[in-house]
Structure 1
Amino acid sequence: MNLTVFGATGGIGRELVRQALASGHRVTAVVRDPARLTVTGSGLEVVRADLTDPEVIRPALSGRNAVLSGLGPRGRGVAGVAARLTRTVLAAMEAEAVRRLVVVSAAPVGPEPDDGLLDRSMRGLVSTILKPVYDDLREMEAELSRSGTDWTSVRPPRLQDKPLTGTYRTVVGGFPRKGRFIARADVAHAMLAMIEDAGTVKQGVGVAY
């Protein structure tokens, strides 16, 4: 497949690029600073772009089979970036008639799992502290719903920098019961697996150990 990855210098984005190349895909990584992308490979094209103008990124999408996005806020101070940048990506995809899109969101954006009183309390506390971040991701998902793309929003819980296991649980339209953690590498693995999974199209998918 010919894939385009946005947010390729982030933790999940780097894993998307690395794993996609290892699986034999051709990858176009769209980044603001190419020096921050440490992944290399013969099937990799790196494109420098700011994501402020859909016209600028259209060449990075032309003829691609799917788009994967690791774009998102890295803290409360930059909340708003996920929705804003995703609008640019969606406009460019529409212009280039690229339909498949898989993005990273977060577990609190989806339906609340039945995990017991303690877990619900912790979830509520985290959601309050990070409200600007989750509001941003909710608006991003609203933009997806309004678009004509075949989107999937992957909603992980707390992220860890641990090796790929390839073993995790997914729930379409929900969240794995008592799922508290997952490695960024496994989130990327799940995203790549969902590209050709028709059952995840226009759905939020919870993913966790």
Structure 2
Amino acid sequence: MRITVFGATGGVGGEVVRQALEAGHEVTAVVRDPAALKAGGERLEVARADLAGAEALLARSGTEWTAVRPPRLTDGPLTGTYRRVTGGNPRAGRSLSRADTAHAMLGAVEDPGTVRQGVGVAY
């Protein structure tokens, strides 16, 4: 699968890029500063862009997209155990690790029920 990651040099974006490449996906990393990108490899393409209004732009486009919306991010480990609500937010969800947020993002892109949807994730 080809995945585009906006904010690929941030904590979550970098984790999504890393996990996606490890899973064998082709990744386009959209960044403000390509020098800040830590990942590399033959399945990685880097695009430079300003990320303001990205979700609104995607919503107006004809492309398939999914926006994952985590609460307060932590530096905790990947657990694979969190709640996910398509079209809303998990009730009383207050935090999620960056690693689990990346995991949730990759899971959402493989779920046809999340196409053109916002997905709330939290513990």
TM-score category (smaller protein): 0.7 to 0.9
The answer for the alignment partner of 2:18 in structure 1 is 18
The answer for the alignment partner of 2:71 in structure 1 is 157
Percent of residue pairs identical = 67
Counterparts of residues 90-109 of structure 1 (less than 5 Å): none
CA contact (8 A) 1:33 1:48 kept: no
Whether 2:39 is the aligned partner of 1:39: answer: yes
Shift of 1:42: 4.6
Shift of 1:170: 0.3
- Code of the residue aligned with 2:23 in structure 1: it is S
Shift of 1:188: 1.2
| Total equivalences in the alignment | 123
In structure 1, distance between residues paired with 2:100 and 2:108: 12
In structure 1, distance between residues paired with 2:29 and 2:96: 24
Q: Tell me the TM-score normalised to structure 1 length.
A: 0.52
Which of structures 1 and 2 has the larger relative contact order (alpha carbons within 8 angstroms, sep 6+)? 2
Q: Tell me the TM-score normalised to structure 2 length.
A: 0.83
Shift of 1:183: 0.8
In structure 2, distance between residues paired with 1:183 and 1:159: 5
Shift of 1:34: 2.7
Is the partner of 1:150 in helix, strand or coil? coil
Shift of 1:48: 5.2
The structure with more radius of gyration: 1
Shift of 1:176: 1.3
Q: 1:2 to 1:199 in 2, by over 3 A?
A: closer
Whether 2:101 is the aligned partner of 1:181: answer: no
By percentage of residues, which structure has more strand?
2
Shift of 1:27: 2.1
Shift of 1:153: 2.0
In structure 2, distance between residues paired with 1:5 and 1:42: 16
Shift of 1:35: 2.5
What are structure 1's unaligned runs of at least 5 residues?
A: 53-70, 72-81, 87-139
Structure 1 runs (4+) greater than 6 angstroms displaced: none
What are structure 2's unaligned runs of at least 5 residues?
A: none
By percentage of residues, which structure has more helix?
1
CA RMSD in angstroms comes to: 2.1
